[in-house]
Amino acid sequence: MSADPRVSIHPDSSVLLAAIAARLITKLVDVQDRYGEATVVLTGGSMGIGTLRAVAESPACPAVDWSKVNVWWGDERFVDADSDERNSRQAAEALLDALPFAPERVHVPGAAGDFATADDAAADYERRLAEAAAAEHAADYSDARPDAPGRLPRFDILLLGVGPDAHIASLFPEMAGIRETQRLVVGVENAPKPPPSRISLTLPAIKSAQEVWMVVAGEDKAGAVGLALAGAGHVQVPAAGARGRSRTLWLIDAAAAAKVPEELVRKEPASA
């Protein structure tokens, strides 16, 4: 089961980033009230890292118990751990290093210096996800506890950017990763944008999240956003395949919304 997309359009990228940050803080507080902890899957790129900066700058930031937030990544560049290209390094500089995250809750994907290939790093990340799922299952004493752990922990919010070619995470049009139906994490080689080696969650992993938030800004993304929301096939338009179990939000600015079908649009005021 997955949720149909809902589109919220904001006047410009600065208003959009502030709105996403406010929404993320509120959601994390709500989830922590229910479960005692919360899990977010981060994304890179200008919008993903800009969102984290906006969270750090928000007056409401202290409302979240950051020591009880679990952090994963939707994808990572398979380069050295100290490379400025790493999504996790950029996230640390934007937010994680400034707040009291528990180190054991921050799950950084493997780097080129630690693994021989992107496939090896992907296999390690999938193993760590399964271990987290088993630990979560063992700590669940509710009546709704399943008989056995799943392959993934609960993802409360999963953030995704969208490229001009409609790629999400490191799942690119027509490539093997976007066609994957069994594995939860894949190594990616010969990516059409640098760096060429990456690891990425697959669509089955992305679609396990309770909420998927697509965060997109810029006129150069309008075509990809329009195709995705018009129902294009996910192999050609990976962003079309991203769905959350309970909610799918497209949080975009007016420039990125230029080709969105009118019936899907909910415009947000400039003060949002």
Q: Per-residue pLDDT tens for 158-188?
A: 999 999 999 999 999 999 999 999 999 999 9
The pLDDT tens digits of the residues spanning 211-237 come to 999 999 999 999 999 999 998 899 999
> What mean pLDDT do residues 183-203 have?
97
Q: Give the chain's domains with CATH numbers.
A: 5-267 (3.40.50.1360)
* pLDDT tens, residue by residue, 135-161: 988 887 776 777 777 899 999 999 999
Confidence bin at 272 (pLDDT 50/70/90): very low
pLDDT at 243 (0 to 100) = 97
What does the pLDDT read at residue 84? 96
Q: Are 199 and 177 in contact (CB under 8 A)?
A: no
CB 203 within 8 A of CB 242: yes
Query: Please, where are the H alpha helices in the chain?
Result: 13-35, 45-57, 87-94, 118-138, 176-179, 203-206, 222-229
pTM of the model: 0.94
As given in the structure block, the two tokens for residue 161 are 């950017």
Neighbours of 63 (CB within 10 A): 12
User: pLDDT grade, residue 267 (50/70/90)?
Assistant: low
How many Å apart are CA 25 and CA 14, to the nearest integer?
A: 17
Mean of the per-residue pLDDT values for the chain?
94
CA angle 162, 165, 166 (to 5 degrees): 40
Q: Using CA atoms, how far apart are residues 165 and 192, in angstroms rounded to an integer?
A: 10
What one-letter code names the amino acid at 16?
Answer: L
Q: In 3-state terms, what secondary structure has residue 195?
A: coil
For residue 234, the Cα-to-chain-centroid distance in whole angstroms is: 17
pLDDT at 266: 58
Distance between CA atoms of residues 93 and 206, nearest Å: 25
Share of the chain above pLDDT 90, in %: 88
Length of the chain in residues, anyone? 272
What is the Cβ-side half-sphere exposure of residue 107, based on CA atoms within 13 angstroms? 25
75 has which bridge partners?
200
Measured between alpha carbons, how far is residue 119 from residues 12, 67, 115 in Å? 38, 31, 9
